[in-house]
């Protein structure tokens, strides 16, 4: 998130010098090469325009802190895996180290911006660490959560629905806030730059992700009912979404949500609620994550039931491993769960993905003796009993499925975990087709 965000600021504001620093020298080396550490449509072009002009990537964190007047802290805040709050709370170790480092090396007043997604009132902790400096240097801490989505990061950054800036409502806090408003106003219309107190800003990010994930779990829960009743989830989603109070976005039934943020941020919200004794509120949001786990489990069980209750020795091709289209990111991808379950059932897996195969290899490292990774989807599907579409890559819509059908073992199955294919046509070709939340089309 930090990389693309700073790239956009450098691109839109040639008058500022932007330096991105990271503790990971490999990542910095990649940012300085032609092979960037992440894939995002449009990112390469603007890095080429700005790098060396007013955008610099460096491992010199101390120097970066000393030289900068405004510091955006975008370090990772994963779910804690140990101790109190393990599996729920945000792990704040990277973030706290950064605060201490800024405190140690700063020689002049600075505006510190929380860009990472953090529990409510974290800015207060950051203020406390920063004001413990012995030199009496003044820091203003602002909350400026980032709402970009992976796969559309550049578009979202260039044309955001809104930019949110939270500050203390003191004279100094408001002055710092106005400085950050001026940075964004270089390209974002003023009416889309909204301001609030710090705590509301921090909570808005967690709430926004919880609401988005909740829509996916809501439609996925109805997809399970559709499969029992021969209703069609696309028809239901269309009818529900055309209500202007509901809206049509984020109503695609699927294998479930993934990515590094939704689950982590909801669990963080759940942990906060439990901490404040709000158990009913915590249960409500936790169920969004539970429905998501259920949806992934259900997908694999449906595959097994359809394929005569055994997957042992069957060759199954996963179309896609990234957690969504247009990214190589596989963090918390439903594909990981699905692949692991299929391996447990002793299936043979062939994984294909245009951008995520390197990450897939890392995710399945140690358990992939029966897994092959093949970038060409035709070669990947050849000789398989079934295809499972896990990522909604556009390229899968346009494949020659007659050719694929001819190369597969019969009866051939397609499980469309993203509902992106033309199911009727696949059925006519000869496939047994199992969409999400729609009647199966089968010759059996
Ligand atoms: N990925 C997204 O789409 C997205 C969107 C909005 C918000 N966020 C939030 O942004 C934050 C970062 O997410 P990400 O996906 O970019 O994570 P990431 O793990 O890809 O990047 C974090 C980077 O911080 C570096 N880092 C860690 N400690 C450091 C330190 N002390 N000094 C300098 N660098 C340090 C790491 O080496 C890493 O390169 C999280 O809080 C996340 O919730 C992410």
**Residue 79: pLDDT above 80?**
yes
**Ligand 1 atom closest to residue 27's alpha carbon, by position in its atom list:** 39
382 lines ligand 1 (CB under 6 A): no
**Ligand 1 atom closest to residue 149's alpha carbon, by position in its atom list:** 3
Please answer whether residues 130 and 103 qualify as being in contact, where contact means their C-beta atoms are separated by less than 8 angstroms. Answer: yes
371 Cα to the center of ligand 1, angstroms: 30
DSSP 180-227: HHHHHTTTS-GGGEEEEEHHHHHHHHHHHHHHHHHHHHHHHHHHHHHH
User: Angle formed by the axes of helices 198-229 and 233-241, to 10°?
Assistant: 140
40 lines ligand 1 (CB under 6 A): no
Same domain, 179 and 302: no
In a domain, 132, yes or no: yes
| Alpha carbons 268 and 255: distance in angstroms, whole number | 23
286 lines ligand 1 (CB under 6 A): no
Dump pLDDT digits (tens) for 345-375: 999 999 999 999 999 999 999 999 999 999 9
71 Cα to the center of ligand 1, angstroms: 14
Average pLDDT over residues 231-256: 98
**Residue 243: pLDDT above 80?**
yes
**Residue 134: pLDDT above 80?**
no
7 Cα to the center of ligand 1, angstroms: 15
Residue 199 has phi, psi (to 5 degrees) of -70, -35
pLDDT value for 2: 98
268 lines ligand 1 (CB under 6 A): no
105 a catalytic residue: no
| Domain of residue 355, CATH code | 3.40.50.720
Closest C-alpha to ligand 1, atom 24:
75
In a domain, 250, yes or no: no
Same domain, 179 and 305: no
Dump pLDDT digits (tens) for 268-294: 999 999 999 999 999 999 999 999 999
pLDDT value for 168: 97
22 lines ligand 1 (CB under 6 A): yes
Please answer whether residues 161 and 96 qualify as being in contact, where contact means their C-beta atoms are separated by less than 8 angstroms. Answer: no
Structure tokens at 438: 């729609």
**Ligand 1 atom closest to residue 2's alpha carbon, by position in its atom list:** 16
**Residue 412: pLDDT above 80?**
yes
Number of Cα atoms under 13 Å in the Cβ half of residue 61? 16
User: CB-based burial of residue 81 (10 Å sphere; 0-12 exposed, 13-18 middle, 19+ buried)?
Assistant: exposed
116 lines ligand 1 (CB under 6 A): yes
Same domain, 170 and 300: no
In a domain, 205, yes or no: no
Pocket test for ligand 1, best of 22, 96, 123, 212 (most atoms within 8 A of CB): 22
Dump pLDDT digits (tens) for 304-323: 999 999 999 999 999 999 99
**Residue 392: pLDDT above 90?**
yes
Does the N-terminal peptide bond of residue 179 adopt cis geometry, omega within 30 degrees of 0? no
260 lines ligand 1 (CB under 6 A): yes
Domain finish residue from 170, 188, 206: 188
Of residues 325, 318, 397, 388, the one with CA closest to residue 360: 318
Q: What are the residues whose beta carbons fall under 8 Å from the beta carbon of 138, sequence distance 6 or more? A: 109, 172
Dump pLDDT digits (tens) for 88-113: 999 999 999 999 999 999 999 999 99
Pocket test for ligand 1, best of 260, 267, 328 (most atoms within 8 A of CB): 260
74 lines ligand 1 (CB under 6 A): yes
**Ligand 1 atom closest to residue 3's alpha carbon, by position in its atom list:** 16
Q: What percent of the chain lies above the pLDDT cut of 90?
A: 98
pLDDT value for 133: 78
pLDDT value for 132: 85
pLDDT value for 387: 99
Domain finish residue from 188, 220, 246: 188
Please state, rounded to an integer, the average pLDDT across all residues of the chain: 97
Residue 441 DSSP class: B
282-308 burial, b at 16+ Cβ within 10 Å, e below that, comes to: beebbbbbebbebbbebbbebbbebbe
Give 135's pLDDT tier (boundaries 50, 70, 90).
confident
DSSP 375-435: SSHHHHHTT-SEEEE-S--GGGTTS-HHHHHHHSPSSPEEEETT--S-HHHHHHHT-EEEE
Pocket test for ligand 1, best of 74, 155, 161 (most atoms within 8 A of CB): 74
Please answer whether residues 173 and 199 qualify as being in contact, where contact means their C-beta atoms are separated by less than 8 angstroms. Answer: no
**Residue 173: pLDDT above 90?**
yes
Same domain, 180 and 306: no
5 lines ligand 1 (CB under 6 A): no
Same domain, 144 and 23: yes
Hunting for tokens 């106003």 — which residue is that?
Answer: 185
In a domain, 355, yes or no: yes
Tell me the torsion sign for CA atoms 302, 305, 306, 309. positive
Of residues 300, 370, 283, the one with CA closest to residue 335: 300
Please answer whether residues 163 and 194 qualify as being in contact, where contact means their C-beta atoms are separated by less than 8 angstroms. Answer: yes
**Rounded to a whole number, what is the distance in angstroms from the first to the last CA of the chain?**
47
60 lines ligand 1 (CB under 6 A): no
302 Cα to the center of ligand 1, angstroms: 36
In a domain, 328, yes or no: yes
20 Cα to the center of ligand 1, angstroms: 12
Using CA atoms of 106, 135, 108, 193 in order, give the dihedral in degrees to the nearest 10: 80
DSSP 86-108: TTTSB--HHHHHHHHHHHHH--S
In a domain, 441, yes or no: no
Domain finish residue from 188, 208, 227: 188
Dump pLDDT digits (tens) for 183-241: 999 999 999 999 999 999 999 999 999 999 999 999 999 999 999 999 999 999 999 99
Q: Which of 261, 273, 317, 384 is catalytic?
A: 261
pLDDT value for 131: 87
In a domain, 288, yes or no: no
Residue 385 structural domain: 294-435
390 Cα to the center of ligand 1, angstroms: 25
In a domain, 246, yes or no: no
Same domain, 165 and 309: no
Number of domains in the chain: 2
49 lines ligand 1 (CB under 6 A): no
What residues form DSSP beta bridges with 143?
114, 166
Same domain, 20 and 135: yes
Write down the pTM of the prediction: 0.96
Count of positions (residues) in the chain: 444
Please answer whether residues 405 and 433 qualify as being in contact, where contact means their C-beta atoms are separated by less than 8 angstroms. Answer: no
């Amino acid at each position: 998130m930090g990389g693309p965000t700073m790239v956009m600021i450098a691109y839109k504001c040639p008058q500022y010098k932007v330096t991105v620093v990271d503790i990971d020298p490999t990542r910095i080396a990649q940012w300085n090469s032609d092979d960037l550490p992440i894939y995002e449509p449009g990112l390469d072009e603007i890095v080429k325009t700005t790098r060396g002009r007013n955008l610099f990537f460096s491992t010199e964190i101390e120097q970066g802190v000393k030289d900068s007047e405004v510091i955006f802290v975008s370090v990772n805040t994963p779910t804690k895996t140990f101790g109190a709050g393990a599996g729920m709370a945000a792990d704040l170790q990277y973030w706290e180290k950064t605060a201490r480092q800024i405190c140690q090396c700063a020689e002049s007043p600075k505006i510190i911006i929380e860009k990472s997604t953090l529990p409510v009132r974290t800015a207060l902790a950051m203020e406390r660490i920063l004001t413990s400096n012995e030199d009496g240097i003044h820091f203003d801490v602002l909350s400026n959560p980032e709402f970009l989505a992976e796969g559309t990061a550049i578009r979202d950054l260039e044309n955001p629905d809104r930019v949110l800036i939270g500050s203390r409502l003191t004279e100094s806090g408001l002055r710092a806030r106005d400085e950050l408003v001026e940075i964004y106003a270089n390209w974002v219309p003023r009416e889309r730059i909204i301001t609030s107190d710090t705590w509301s800003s921090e909570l808005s990010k967690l709430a926004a992700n919880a609401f988005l994930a909740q829509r996916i779990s809501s439609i996925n829960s109805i997809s399970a009912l559709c499969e029992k009743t021969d209703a069609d989830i696309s028809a239901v989603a269309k009818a529900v979404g055309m209500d202007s109070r509901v809206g049509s976005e984020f109503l695609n039934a699927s294998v479930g949500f993934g990515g590094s943020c939704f689950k982590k941020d909801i669990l963080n919200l759940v942990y906060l609620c439990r901490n404040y004794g709000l158990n009913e509120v915590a249960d409500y949001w936790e169920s969004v994550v539970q429905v998501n786990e259920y949806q992934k489990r259900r997908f694999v069980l449906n595959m097994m039931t359809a394929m005569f209750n055994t997957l042992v020795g069957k060759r199954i091709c996963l179309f896609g491993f990234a957690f969504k289209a247009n990214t190589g990111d596989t963090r918390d991808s439903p594909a990981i769960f699905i692949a692991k379950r299929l391996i447990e059932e002793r299936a043979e897996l062939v994984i294909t993905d245009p951008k995520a195969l390197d990450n897939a290899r890392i995710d399945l490292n140690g358990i992939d003796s029966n897994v092959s990774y093949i970038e060409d989807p035709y070669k990947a599907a050849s000789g398989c009993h079934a295809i499972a579409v896990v990522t909604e890559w556009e390229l899968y819509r346009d494949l020659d499925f007659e050719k694929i059908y001819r190369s597969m073992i019969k009866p051939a199955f397609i499980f469309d975990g993203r509902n992106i294919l033309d199911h009727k046509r696949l059925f006519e070709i000869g496939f047994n087709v199992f969409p999400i939340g729609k009647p199966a089309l089968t010759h059996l």
